[in-house]
């Protein structure tokens, strides 16, 4: 629960304390969605959509109660159903069995907006028939947008966007493709930090005896973040150009709603977890004014570190030339982690050859952005690769789950399988399919490593190559120590940049070769706290090829990179400042394997094993032990990780 703000509305410091996107697979039985937001005490709104099927967008809020629903795709009156959301809880909410919010083996999207000063409020009122009606709210700042709905009759949703002195004259209809309407030269609404006034009882917004609800969104207050100088929500507009257009928010978004001012255009909603564009494939979107499932019909809407880019996009609904578009954008999580439990989870499970949900050993709410899997036993599937995938890599087919993935030990561009990762989950769970590559039957064990991107720790970046050097922006906020790059459209080796090795050397993740020197890989330029540079080498920047990068930075008590020289002494100690649960070590003087240890393979015990990321090898004797501040290098792998006068790189994650 946040501290009390204006009139008792909570104040929050980070966006993750007020907003959550939850992806889950339905069960058709009671299901809790724990997302860390205290709806029971603070109040708020939940918006749910079955993205797989043609189902209504269902909105429920704490003011009207969990059994009352409205639908963004319809002007229908409020419905009552006791099997959709059954309760608002101190850490999220609970679903009933209704198929519109919890259909078995179907993917669902849910957006939770907690009431918070400067971010979001919800109010209700009973109409009194007056020609002008003032409604107080507790947002504590001038609203960026207000959504109003008559609960008792079939009237349309009326949407207000702040737009300087013009805002109160125009309106939109959420459940319609109509464009921007106007009130014949007079304002239908005025809004300030404490109240909004409905003028002339516009369009049945104050009918006597009828009930109403309004959802009120903030706009650009800079009262958030570590130093309380950041914003978390922005309402604005842009002028389309039917090409490539950058919209600067000053931060990376995770949620974006767009509406054209022209008629016959749908509302478009894109979020990072469902899948923004990675430059190669169009973004996954849903349309709040229709019941249709998700689609990829709106072009390449890319979330960047400073806003969003409409990349070579001509679609009328997001980028028609000389047409204005309004948007609401919500910032990506921006809190720097302070413990490994916030950003990493590791698990060894037994495959069963069937689609399944796996609970991660997390002490809190954990949300995976990058997943790594490897079959470990000596069964028929033990020769499988080290499979890596991310939310951003996603899918190239809107009807499929997250189906695209890469292999760390091969140069193959990418693989595709329709039943690979079903949901990354937002509740310390992931759902995987029945692929024998990651979930074989026959009792074979599989190692699962999950990571969440966060400022100061890890970022995931995509770009399109241009054949010459270019700077690639990132959102770490600090200098990356490792950058791991793979083309996902061409068969190039994985390449690794190390801050300790400098801008002339690179390593290849999928082989054991000694580090190579090349001025065309990093363009002889060191990475900074805002960008890294790629040269003209095909492995990082071939013209019209597409790339992804995993960036890791030193983060106190969370992540540490160490450059050390071997001394051939048993129990050599590496000081990380914390007990590691995940470690990679690589020789940088001579050829050598990429060794990986983690807690699922027993790194925190004496009976540990390790993997070799550059091969299908597995179940090697670990030869290490850990302490509360680091790791001891034992004798069994001395020649590989502690040979005298050889230099090594280590990446450790708590």
Are the C-beta atoms of residues 252 and 306 closer than 8 Å to each other?
A: yes
- The whole-number pLDDT of residue 39 equals 98
Classify burial at 403, counting beta carbons within 10 Å of its beta carbon; exposed 0-12, middle 13-18, buried 19 or more.
Answer: buried
**CA gap 508, 409 in Å, rounded:** 10
Same domain, yes or no, for 440 and 359? yes
Q: Chain-centre distance of CA 468, in angstroms?
A: 30
**CA gap 212, 53 in Å, rounded:** 29
Q: Is residue 338 part of a domain?
A: no
Beta carbons within 8 Å of 236's beta carbon, 6+ residues apart:
247, 326, 327, 329
Share of the chain above pLDDT 70, in %: 94
Q: Please check the confidence at residue 356 and state whether its pLDDT lies above 90.
A: no
**CA gap 336, 363 in Å, rounded:** 18
Same domain, yes or no, for 470 and 390? no
Same domain, yes or no, for 105 and 187? no
Q: Which residue range is the domain that position 185 belongs to?
A: 120-217
Same domain, yes or no, for 400 and 467? no
Q: Please check the confidence at residue 503 and state whether its pLDDT lies above 80.
A: yes
Q: Is residue 492 part of a domain?
A: yes
**CA gap 267, 426 in Å, rounded:** 25
Q: Is residue 12 part of a domain?
A: no
Q: Is residue 316 part of a domain?
A: yes
Same domain, yes or no, for 442 and 465? no
Beta carbons within 8 Å of 181's beta carbon, 6+ residues apart:
170, 171, 172, 173
Same domain, yes or no, for 469 and 539? yes
Same domain, yes or no, for 247 and 199? no
Q: Is residue 602 part of a domain?
A: yes
Which region, left, alpha or beta, applies to residue 568 given φ > 0 means left and ψ of -120 to 50 means alpha?
left
- Average pLDDT of the segment spanning 13-38: 94
Are the C-beta atoms of residues 310 and 300 closer than 8 Å to each other?
A: yes
Are the C-beta atoms of residues 336 and 455 closer than 8 Å to each other?
A: yes
Element (H, E) at 609: strand 609-612
- The whole-number pLDDT of residue 4 equals 44
- The whole-number pLDDT of residue 578 equals 98
- Average pLDDT of the segment spanning 505-514: 96
Q: Is residue 609 part of a domain?
A: yes
Same domain, yes or no, for 564 and 644? yes
**CA gap 636, 596 in Å, rounded:** 15
How many structural domains comprise the chain?
A: 6
Same domain, yes or no, for 185 and 161? yes
Q: Please check the confidence at residue 148 and state whether its pLDDT lies above 90.
A: yes
Same domain, yes or no, for 520 and 442? no
Residue 363 pLDDT class (50, 70, 90 cuts) = low
- The whole-number pLDDT of residue 343 equals 94
Q: Look up the CATH number of the domain holding residue 199.
A: 2.60.40
Q: Is residue 61 part of a domain?
A: yes
Same domain, yes or no, for 110 and 124? no
User: Which of the listed residues 296, 331, 366 is the one where a domain comes to its end?
Assistant: 331
- The whole-number pLDDT of residue 382 equals 54
Three-state SS for 571? coil
- The whole-number pLDDT of residue 395 equals 66
Alpha-carbon distances of 522 from 508, 510, 519, 541, rounded to whole Å: 14, 19, 6, 10
- Average pLDDT of the segment spanning 258-286: 93
- Mean pLDDT over all residues of the chain? 92
Are the C-beta atoms of residues 452 and 343 closer than 8 Å to each other?
A: yes
- The whole-number pLDDT of residue 405 equals 82
User: Which of the listed residues 424, 447, 470 is the one where a domain comes to its end?
Assistant: 447
Beta carbons within 8 Å of 329's beta carbon, 6+ residues apart:
233, 234, 235, 236, 249, 253, 255, 256, 257, 307, 308
Angle at 274 between CA 57 and CA 47, to 5 degrees: 25
Three-state SS for 222? coil
pLDDT digits (tens, 9 = 90+) for 368-382: 899 999 988 655 555
Q: Please check the confidence at residue 282 and state whether its pLDDT lies above 80.
A: yes
| Stated pTM of the model | 0.94
User: Which of the listed residues 169, 189, 217 is the one where a domain comes to its end?
Assistant: 217
Q: Is residue 14 part of a domain?
A: no
Are the C-beta atoms of residues 379 and 460 closer than 8 Å to each other?
A: no
Beta carbons within 8 Å of 150's beta carbon, 6+ residues apart:
77, 204, 205, 207, 210, 211, 212
pLDDT digits (tens, 9 = 90+) for 193-213: 999 999 875 668 999 999 999
- The whole-number pLDDT of residue 415 equals 85
- Average pLDDT of the segment spanning 265-285: 91
Can you give the C-alpha Rg of the chain in angstroms? 26
Same domain, yes or no, for 327 and 399? no
Instruction: Specify the length of the chain in residues.
Output: 654
């Amino acid at each position: 629960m946040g501290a009390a703000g204006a009139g008792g509305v909570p104040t929050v410091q980070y966006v993750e304390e007020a907003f959550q996107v939850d992806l889950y697979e339905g069960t058709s039985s009671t299901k809790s969605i724990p997302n860390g937001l205290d709806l029971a005490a603070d109040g708020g709104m939940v918006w749910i959509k079955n993205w797989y099927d043609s189902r209504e967008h269902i909105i429920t809020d704490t003011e009207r109660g969990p059994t009352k629903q409205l639908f963004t795709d319809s002007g229908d009156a409020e419905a009552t159903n006791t099997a959709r959301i059954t309760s608002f809880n101190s850490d999220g909410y609970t679903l009933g069995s209704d198929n519109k919010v919890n259909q078995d083996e179907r993917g669902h999207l849910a957006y939770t907006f907690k009431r918070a000063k400067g971010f979001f409020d919800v109010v209700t009122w009973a109409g009194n028939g007056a020609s002008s009606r003032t409604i107080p709210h507790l947002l504590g700042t001038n609203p960026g947008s207000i959504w109003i709905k008559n609960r008792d009759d079939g009237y349309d949703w009326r949407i207000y966007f702040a737009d300087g002195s013009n805002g109160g004259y125009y309106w939109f209809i959420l459940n319609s493709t109509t464009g921007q309407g106007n009130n014949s030269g007079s304002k239908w609404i005025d809004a300030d930090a404490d109240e909004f006034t409905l003028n002339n009882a516009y369009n049945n917004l104050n009918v006597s005896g009828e009930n109403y609800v309004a959802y009120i969104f903030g706009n650009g207050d800079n009262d958030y973040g570590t130093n309380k100088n950041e914003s978390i929500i922005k309402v604005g507009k842009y002028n389309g150009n039917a090409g490539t257009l950058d919209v600067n928010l000053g931060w990376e978004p995770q949620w974006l709603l767009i509406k054209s001012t022209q008629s016959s255009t749908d509302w478009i909603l894109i979020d990072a977890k469902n899948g923004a564009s990675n430059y190669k494939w169009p973004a996954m979107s849903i349309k709040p004014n229709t019941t249709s499932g998700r689609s990829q019909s709106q072009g390449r809407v890319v979330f960047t570190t400073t806003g969003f880019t409409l990349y070579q996009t001509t679609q009328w609904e997001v980028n028609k030339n000389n047409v204005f578009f309004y948007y609401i954008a919500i910032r990506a999580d921006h809190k720097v982690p302070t413990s490994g439990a916030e950003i990493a989870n590791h698990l060894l499970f037994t495959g069963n050859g069937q689609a399944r949900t796996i609970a991660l050993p997390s002490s809190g709410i954990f949300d995976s952005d990058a997943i790594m899997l490897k079959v470990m036993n000596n069964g028929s599937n033990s020769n499988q690769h080290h499979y890596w995938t991310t939310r951003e890599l996603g899918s190239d087919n809107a009807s499929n789950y997250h189906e695209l993935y890469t292999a760390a030990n091969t140069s193959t561009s990418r693989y595709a399988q329709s039943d690979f990762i079903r949901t990354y989950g937002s509740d310390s769970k992931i759902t995987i399919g029945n692929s024998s590559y990651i979930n074989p039957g026959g009792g074979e064990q599989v190692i699962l490593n999950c990571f969440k991107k966060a400022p100061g720790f890890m970022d995931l970046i995509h770009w399109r190559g241009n054949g010459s050097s270019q700077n690639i922006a990132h959102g770490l906020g600090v200098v990356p120590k490792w950058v791991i790059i793979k083309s996902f459209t061409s068969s190039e080796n994985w390449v690794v940049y190390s801050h300790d090795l400098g801008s002339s050397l690179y390593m290849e993740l999928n082989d054991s070769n000694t580090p190579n020197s090349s001025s065309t890989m990093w363009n002889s330029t060191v990475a900074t706290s805002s960008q890294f540079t790629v040269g003209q080498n095909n492995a990082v920047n071939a013209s019209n090829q597409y790339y992804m990068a995993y960036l890791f930075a030193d983060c106190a008590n969370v992540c540490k990179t160490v450059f050390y020289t071997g001394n051939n002494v048993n129990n050599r100690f590496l000081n990380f400042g914390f007990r590691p649960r995940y470690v990679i070590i690589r020789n940088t003087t001579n050829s050598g394997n990429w060794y990986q240890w983690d807690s699922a393979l027993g790194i925190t015990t004496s009976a540990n094993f390790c993997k070799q990321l550059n091969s299908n090898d597995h179940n090697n004797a670990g030869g290490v032990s850990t302490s509360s501040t680091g790791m001891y290098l034992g004798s069994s792998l001395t020649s590989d990780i502690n040979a005298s006068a050889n230099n090594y790189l280590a990446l450790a994650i708590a």
